[in-house]
Amino acid sequence: MAWIRVDTTSSEPVYEQIVRQVTYAVARGEYRPGDRLPSVRQLATELLVNPNTVAKAFRELERNGLTYPRKGDGVFVAERAGEICERLRREEVVGRIAEALRDAAHSGLPAQELRRIIEMELRTVAREESRTVRSGEEHGKR
Amino acid sequence: MAWIRVDTTSSEPVYEQIVRQVTYAVARGEYRPGDRLPSVRQLATELLVNPNTVAKAFRELERNGLTYPRKGDGVFVAERAGEICERLRREEVVGRIAEALRDAAHSGLPAQELRRIIEMELRTVAREESRTVRSGEEHGKR
Amino acid sequence: MAWIRVDTTSSEPVYEQIVRQVTYAVARGEYRPGDRLPSVRQLATELLVNPNTVAKAFRELERNGLTYPRKGDGVFVAERAGEICERLRREEVVGRIAEALRDAAHSGLPAQELRRIIEMELRTVAREESRTVRSGEEHGKR
Amino acid sequence: MAWIRVDTTSSEPVYEQIVRQVTYAVARGEYRPGDRLPSVRQLATELLVNPNTVAKAFRELERNGLTYPRKGDGVFVAERAGEICERLRREEVVGRIAEALRDAAHSGLPAQELRRIIEMELRTVAREESRTVRSGEEHGKR
DNA sequence: GTGGTCTAGACCACT
DNA sequence: GTGGTCTAGACCACC
The β-bridge partners of D36 are: D76
Q: Do D101 and C24 touch (CB under 8 A)?
A: no
Residue nearest to nucleotide E2 (CA to C1'): D72
- Give the C-alpha separation, B62 to B56, whole Å: 10
Going by the DSSP 8-state scheme, the letter that residue C30 receives in this structure is S
Element (H, E) at B67: strand B67-70
The residue lying closest to nucleotide E14, measuring its CA against C1', is: A72
Among all residues of chain C, which has the CA nearest to that of A76? C9
Does the beta carbon of A124 lie under 8 angstroms from any beta carbon of chain B? yes
Give tens-digit pLDDT for C55-99. Answer: 999 999 999 899 999 988 899 999 999 899 999 999 999 999 999
Position C72 scores a pLDDT of 85
Q: Does C8 touch chain A (CB under 8 A)?
A: yes
For chain C, the C-alpha Rg in angstroms (whole number) is 17
How many other CB atoms are found less than 10 A from the CB of residue C42? Answer: 14
| C-alpha–C-alpha distance, residues C93 and D104, integer Å | 6
Question: Cβ of C11 under 8 Å from any chain A Cβ?
Answer: no
Distances D125 to B84, C98, C101, D24, D98 between C-alpha atoms, Å:
70, 8, 7, 17, 18
Q: Which of D28, D117, D129 sits opposite C97 (nearest CB)?
A: D117
Chain F bases closer than 7 angstroms to a protein Cβ: 1-9, 13-15
Instruction: Reduce the DSSP state of residue D139 to 3 states and report it.
Output: helix
CB neighbours (10 Å) of residue D33? 14
The model's confidence at residue A31, banded by pLDDT at 50, 70 and 90, is very high
Give the start-end residues of each E strand in chain A: 67-70, 74-77
Query: What are the residue ranges in chain B where pLDDT is below 50?
Result: 1, 139-142
Measured distance CA(B57)–CA(B52) in Å, rounded: 9
Which B residues 44-63 touch D at CB under 8 Å? 50
CA distance A93 to chain B (A): 5
Q: Which residues touch strand F (CB under 7 A)?
A: A 37, 39-42, 52, 55, 58-59, 62, 69-75; B 8, 13-16, 49-50, 52-53, 56; D 8, 13-16, 49-53, 56, 70-73
Q: What are the residue ranges of helices labelled H in D30-110? A: 40-47, 51-63, 81-106
Distances (CA, A) of A75 to B33, B40, C10: 59, 51, 15
Protein-covered nucleotides on strand E (Cβ within 7 A): 1-9, 13-15
Residues 50-69 of D with CB under 7 A from strand E: 52, 55, 58-59, 62, 69
- The average pLDDT across D106-118 equals 91
Q: Which residue gives the smallest C-alpha to C1' distance to F5?
A: D13
pLDDT score recorded for residue B1:
47
Residue of A nearest to B108 (CA): A28
Angle at D61 between CA D55 and CA D63, to 5 degrees: 105
CA closest to B13 among chain D residues: D71
Task: Name chain C's partners: 3 or more CB pairs within 8 A.
Answer: A, D
Give which of D104, B92, A32, D129 is closest to C91, Cα–Cα. D104
User: Mean pLDDT of all residues in chain D?
Assistant: 89
- Residue C139: which pLDDT band, with cuts at 50, 70 and 90? very low
CB-based contact, D133 to chain C, within 8 Å: no
| Average pLDDT of the segment spanning A91-115 | 91
If you measure CA to C1', which residue is closest to nucleotide F3?
A71
Distance from CA of A72 to the nearest CA of B (A): 31
Task: State pLDDT tens for residues B64-87.
Answer: 899 999 988 899 999 999 899 999
Q: How far apart are CA C115 and CA D8, in angstroms?
A: 30
Chain C CB contacts of A71 below 8 Å: 13
Beta-bridged to residue C74, according to DSSP, are: C70
Let me know if chains C and D touch, i.e. at least 3 Cβ pairs under 8 angstroms.
Answer: yes
A10: Cα separation from own chain's centroid: 14
Q: State whether the beta carbon of A23 lies below 7 angstroms from any atom of strand E.
A: no
Q: What angle do CA C33, C38, C44 make, to 5 degrees?
A: 140
Q: C107, D88 in Cβ contact below 8 A?
A: no
pLDDT score recorded for residue C140: 45
Q: How confident is the model at residue C129 (pLDDT cuts 50, 70, 90)?
A: confident
Rounded to the nearest integer, the mean pLDDT of chain C is 87
SS3 state at C68: strand
- D112 CB within 8 Å of a chain C CB: no
Q: Count the neighbouring beta carbons within 10 Å of the beta carbon of residue B140.
A: 12
CA distance D21 to D40: 15
How large is the average pLDDT for residues A61-81? 94
Query: Is any atom of nucleic acid chain E found less than 7 Å from the CB of residue A16?
Result: yes
Confidence band of A142 (pLDDT split at 50, 70, 90) = very low
Q: Measure, in angstroms, how far nucleotide E9 C1' is from residue D28 CA.
A: 40
Chain B interface includes A86 (CB < 8 A): no
Which candidate, C80, C79, C64, places its Cα nearest to that of C18?
A: C64
> D67-94 pLDDT, tens per residue?
999 989 999 999 999 999 999 999 999 9
Main-chain phi, psi angles of B38, to 5 degrees: -60, 155
Query: How confident is the model at residue B130, as a pLDDT?
Result: 75
Q: What is the 3-state secondary structure (H, E, C) of chain C?
A: CCCCCCCCCCCCCHHHHHHHHHHHHHHCCCCCCCCECCCHHHHHHHHCCCHHHHHHHHHHHHHCCCEEEECCCEEEECCCHHHHHHHHHHHHHHHHHHHHHHHHHHCCCCHHHHHHHHHHHHHHHHHHHHHHHHHHHHHCCC
Q: Is the CB of A130 under 7 A from strand E?
A: no
Q: Does A79 touch chain C (CB under 8 A)?
A: no
- What is the model's pLDDT at position C133? 62
Residues of D in contact with B13 (CB under 8 A): 71
User: Over pLDDT 70: what percentage of chain D?
Assistant: 91
Chains B and C touch (3+ CB pairs under 8 A): no
Number of helices followed by number of strands (H, E) in chain C: 5, 2
Residue A24 clears pLDDT 90, i.e. is over it: yes
F5 C1' – C86 CA distance, angstroms? 34
d(CA D84, CA C69): 53
- Res. C34 pLDDT band, cuts 50 70 90: very high
pLDDT at A139: 47
Q: How far is D23 from chain C (nearest CA, A)?
A: 8
Check if residue D21 sits with its Cβ under 7 angstroms from strand E.
Answer: no
- What is residue B35's DSSP assignment? P
